[in-house]
Amino acid sequence: MVDENHWNAYGDVDISGTAYGIMAMNSLGIDSMKGHDWLKSRINSEDGGVIAPWTDPSSDTFSTAQSLLALSHLSFADVLNRAVN
């Protein structure tokens, strides 16, 4: 974790890894608000999506979808339970 709020991969910020990390923290009952706030800071005011390093200044659909799960305060168990129901 970098700066206690996000993860990096391959020398750049990792939106997907950060979203997954937040969801894992939620699963374990660990406070994830710093990561949550960091992800919110990546929201593109132009279209409401999440900006990834490879799409900056535009949003990335895949990163946005993953971020929405984390920003909704969901854990992996929540996602799995919703998929089964």
Q: How far is Cα 57 from Cα 32, in angstroms, rounded to an integer? A: 26
> Which pTM does this prediction carry?
0.84
Per-residue pLDDT band at 82 (split at 50, 70, 90): confident
| pLDDT score at 1 | 82
Contacts with 48 (C-beta within 8 Å, 6 or more apart), sequence order: 59
Ranges of each domain in the chain:
8-84
Please say if the pLDDT value at position 85 is more than 90. no
CB 70 within 8 A of CB 56: no
- Per-residue pLDDT tens over the stretch 15-70: 999 999 999 998 899 999 999 999 999 999 999 999 999 898 999 999 999 999 99
| pLDDT score at 83 | 55
